[in-house]
Amino acid sequence: MKTIDELLAEGVAGKRVFVRADLNVPLDGTTITDDGRIRAVLPTVKALAEAGARVVVASHLGRPKGAPDPVFSLAPAAARLGELLGADVAFATDTVGESATATVAGLADGQVAVVENLRFNAGETSKDDAERAAFSDQLAALADVYVGDGFGAVHRKHASVFDLPAKLPHYAGYLIATEVGVLKKLTEDVQRPYAVALGGSKVSDKLAVIDQLLGKADRILIGGGMAFTFLKAQGHEVGTSLLQEDQIPAVTEYLERAEKLGVELVLPIDVVVSPGFPDLKAKAPTEHTAVDADKMPEGQLGLDIGPKTGELYASKLADARTVFWNGPMGVFEHPDYAEGTRAVAQALIDSDGFTVVGGGDSAAAVRTLGFDENAFGHISTGGGASLEYLEGKTLPGLAALED
């Protein structure tokens, strides 16, 4: 895989460089609530612009249905990119149409443009190879060189991620090079003890990675909504908590395998429960209490790991030399149910090991709860991509960058 450093050494002045970024930021209307993904691609865009390239940045945002939708416009992301660069960033109001063509043609050396949401074009996400190829041909006409730096999308077989690199000289940007290096530390060069904390809502989203980690990790800590399927598999009452009953056989098998392999599969010993789900916008105080995990009352909803579990999990992470965390321990968006996630984040900070926050909601939680991002070894920009890499899958966007 060639990197951007090799491209810069070859020279990019005057060349149109297409940067497939991940600007899929959360929006409240047109206000960006977390600009982490924009800041992540900044080193690549800056280096190319300073070297005299004509930089064309492209990304998806949200899930528009293959047609323009102002709700999913990249205009706010383009404006924020310009603020962070300290330079004007041109914005094309389409992806491969008249505006994009004119905007790219109008770039001078060292200037940057953002084209509109790639998913406004059905060809970007099409499962039809010919339709994707046709769209990638249109994208290729905008550039001389391709730089892949949208790690959050590399697990997608999309036109701008998979098909386009084959049509242009292609290189990995700084972000992708960093992310791949980190993931290799989690799979090929692991320092032990190796502890993994997994949370999030659905256990079905994590089954494949648990399957792989049972042969690699020393400890796996389970939290979030997915924990209740594990607790139910042990025969415990889980009230009205999130439960995937169809996954109980798989979870039971993992519990048995972990015991046979000598892997610590650690479950909550207490949980924070409430009669109902909180209003995440109002964030007003709610009725809640911590109960032992094996004594959950009927009619109560589990929304976080409890304080005793937070202490337990911190102790299990304390001596780890490698830690991977993916998924919050509770509904961290509400202050009454954020303490479990806070405890795990703090444990990573206190650890002397190599700590990785696996993107997605975990990365959002770190920022929402006010932690210093530099206190962690690495915060990934792609939760789904990270998990699929750890599952041992071939990621289309990374395969496309290989020579």
384 is catalytic: yes
My answer on whether omega of the bond before 249 falls inside 30° of 0, hence cis, is no
Burial (CB < 10 A; 0-12, 13-18, 19+), residue 391, is: middle
- Of 173, 224, 310, 384, which residue is the catalytic one? 384
Helices (H), 107-189: 122-125, 129-140, 174-187
From the candidates 16, 37, 156, 157, which is the catalytic residue?
Answer: 37
Q: DSSP of 315-367, one letter per residue? A: HHHHT-SEEEEES-SS-TTSGGG-HHHHHHHHHHHH-SSEEEE-SHHHHHHHH
**Mode of pairing for the β-strands spanning 378-379 and 170-172:** unpaired
Write down the catalytic residue from 202, 216, 308, 321: 202
Q: What angle do CA 208, 225, 336 make, to 5 degrees?
A: 145
Burial of 281 (0-12, 13-18, 19+ CB in 10 A): exposed
| Cα torsion through 66, 71, 76, 77, rounded to 10 | -40
Q: Answer yes or no: are the C-beta atoms of 150 and 183 closer than 8 Å.
A: no
DSSP state of 161: I
Q: Which two tokens stand for residue 343?
A: 């405890």
Is 360 annotated as catalytic? yes
Secondary structure (DSSP) of 254-316: HHHHHHHHT-EEE--SEEEEESS---TTT------EEEETT-PPTT-EEEEE-HHHHHHHHHH
Cβ atoms within 10 Å of 118's Cβ, excluding its own = 26
Which residues are tagged catalytic? 37, 202, 360, 384
